Amino acid sequence: MPHPSTSPSSTRPQRVFDPLLRLLHWVIALAIVALIVTSQLADGFEHGPYEKTLWNLHILIGYTLTAGLLTRLLWGLVGPLSARWRDLWHPAVWKDSLKNMRLPAKHRAGHDPIASLAYLFAYGVMALMVVTGLGLAASEFQTGPLAGWLGNMPWLEDVLGEPHEFGFGLMLGFIGLHLAALVFHQWRGERVAQSMVTGKQYLGAESGVQHD
């Protein structure tokens, strides 16, 4: 049953998220899924005929994730308001929610203030994965943009491997939390999942989209 605050009579669609932001969202999301699949398959085929091919594919997909993250970083500086990094930064809301142990009462155009914490965390984990992954590609496989500096340092595999694995576990946790939150919003009758497809959010009539 729809949540009272999100019933069709009290909400209206507003186009909030721009096409490039949505494209980057899916490029990054699909790259992460592909990285998880290829890493697990490579481990499953360890010492087999497909292991090297799978790791090479894993590295290539890692470059896609790197390009997506760098573009997202830039777009967060120069893109429209809903794509800006400040749209993910809500310290007053976080403080109030923590102090009173409650979620924000009002919906807003753009990123949800509480979910923004998880998104910032995820971007940090992805940055960790990219940096350690590029280092591992150079030290273990002698390939990538860092190979000229790190290609003769095989001992880096031990140094970078553990934080890379740690980041992998954190990313799995974020994916689980993200999917659970989407199910929760769907259960409340809130149309959240489609916002990164159509770019539209269903907001109360009093909500507005701010522009620079």
Span 129-146, average pLDDT: 96
| Model confidence at 155: pLDDT above 70 | yes
- Euclidean distance between CA atoms 15 and 80, whole angstroms: 12
Per-residue pLDDT, 204: 64
Q: Which of 27-36, 58-67, 101-110, 171-180 has the lowest mean pLDDT?
A: 101-110
The CA-based angle 67-73-78, given to 5 degrees, is 120
| Model confidence at 165: pLDDT above 90 | yes
User: Which pair of structure tokens corresponds to residue 169?
Assistant: 């576990």
For the structural domain made of 15-198, what CATH number should be given? 1.20.950.20
Span 61-90, average pLDDT: 97
CB 46 within 8 A of CB 131: no
> Per residue in 15-72, pLDDT tens?
999 999 999 999 999 999 999 999 999 999 998 999 999 999 999 999 999 999 999 9
DSSP string, 135-180: HHHHHHHS-STTHHHHTT-TTHHHHHHHHHHHHHHHHHHHHHHHHH
Domain boundary assignment for the chain = 15-198
One-letter amino acid identity for 129?
M
pTM of the model: 0.87
Exposure string of 96-126, with b = 16+ CB inside 10 Å and e = fewer, is ebeeeeeeeeebbbbbbbeebbbeeebbebb
Reduced to 3 states (helix: H, G, I; strand: E, B; else coil), residue 203 is strand
